Amino acid sequence: MEKYTWRAVIKEGMKEEYIRRHDTIWPEMVEVLKEAGVCNYTIWCDGNDLFGYYECEKGLEHALKVQAESEVVARWDISMEPIMTMFQEKPEQVFFLE
């Protein structure tokens, strides 16, 4: 199963809002992620630094395509812009143990 990771930083003073929005994630956002084959999605927070990880049941290409074409994901991303900044470069995998 292909894996995907991302990194971001929460803007100063916005950590509680970031957590609140994920505690009340839109049901339609969850539907899109499931349609994309996203599973085992986890986000870790260290201070204001975020690290996200998920697995792609239907392949990474499919997962990214479904999300890129989704109006729901576009709205979510816009709603999160005042709260966080995504890093464009992806983390490098340096170790894997199965």
Long-range contacts formed by 59-63: CB under 8 A, 24+ apart: 59/2, 60/2, 60/3, 60/4, 62/36, 62/37, 63/2, 63/4, 63/36, 63/37, 63/38
Place of tokens 């916005």: 14
Which residue is catalytic, options 1, 3, 19, 22?
Answer: 22
Q: Is 22 a catalytic residue?
A: yes
Q: Active-site positions?
A: 22
